[in-house]
Amino acid sequence: MAGSWSNMHDYKFSRERMVQEQILRRGISSPGVIAAMSQVPRHAFVPEEGRRGMAYYDAPLLLGDGQTLSQPYIVALMSELLEASPGMRVLEIGTGSGYQAAVLAAMGLEVYSVERLRSLYTAAARRLFTLGYDAHIRMRLDDGTFGWPEAAPYERILVTAGGRQVPQSLLDQLADPGILVMPVGQARYQNLLVLRKEDGQIRQENKKAVLFVELVGECGWRSAP
């Protein structure tokens, strides 16, 4: 990784403090999530060099094209809500910077990630390859609201953008039993939902009020250009 030993040491300290103050103190208890968040270099997923010093702040960061990198706690919370075990197949809708996908891969999951914006897709693919996560992550440039049907079913599905409802295509691609985590609601306000599929039935749990960018696509808020 580029940079002096001192800079790398500072990032390591910032990452450890992030885990202690933003994740553990807020109740995240999954050993797999904590280990992954302690390991994955969040600063390497921040696109602008001048903002890397903010990588471990308790706040989302801009990625460009109107997209964001979620704050560390939200990444940890959504990862924990998946209740995933190593070896499970997970579909991520919205690759973004690639950070969430890297966290899932570090948890030992087989990740399929769909991104609709070519600029983000290309940058994320480059980062994941450089950092060595590409062996555990498959990526696709497409409308994420359609999912990735050729590789279905998925034991877990994680959607990193807010929609008015969960696309039926994603529910159809969720294994039985399986868990889907997604923010659902209005454009400026959503509830983080956990949907559990079991014996053909869907049970929904409301976990937290959140604010995500819009889920754009044929089955989202608006069609992609």
- The domains of the chain are located at 5-210
Given a cut of 80, whether residue 42 has pLDDT beyond it is yes
Catalytic site residues? 70
Q: What rounded mean pLDDT belongs to the chain?
A: 92
CATH class of 5-210: alpha beta
Secondary structure element (H or E) that encloses residue 15, with its range = helix 5-18
Question: Distance (Å, rounded) from C-alpha 219 to C-alpha 7?
Answer: 43
Given a cut of 60, whether residue 5 has pLDDT beyond it is no
Given a cut of 70, whether residue 172 has pLDDT beyond it is yes
How high is the pLDDT of residue 50?
53
- Residues 76-107 pLDDT 10s: 999 999 999 999 999 999 999 999 999 999 99
Local confidence band at 116 (pLDDT 50, 70, 90 cut-offs): very high
Identity of the residue numbered 165? Q
pTM of the model: 0.92
DSSP sequence for 63-124: EETTEEE--HHHHHHHHHHTT--TT-EEEEE--TTSHHHHHHHHTT-EEEEEES-HHHHHHH
Q: At CA 214, angle to CA 220 and CA 129, rounded to 5?
A: 95
Kindly report the backbone phi and psi dihedral angles of residue 70, in degrees, each rounded to the nearest multiple of 5, phi listed first. -60, 155
Peptide bond into 149 cis (omega under 30): no
With beta carbons less than 8 A apart as the criterion, state whether 23 and 37 touch: yes
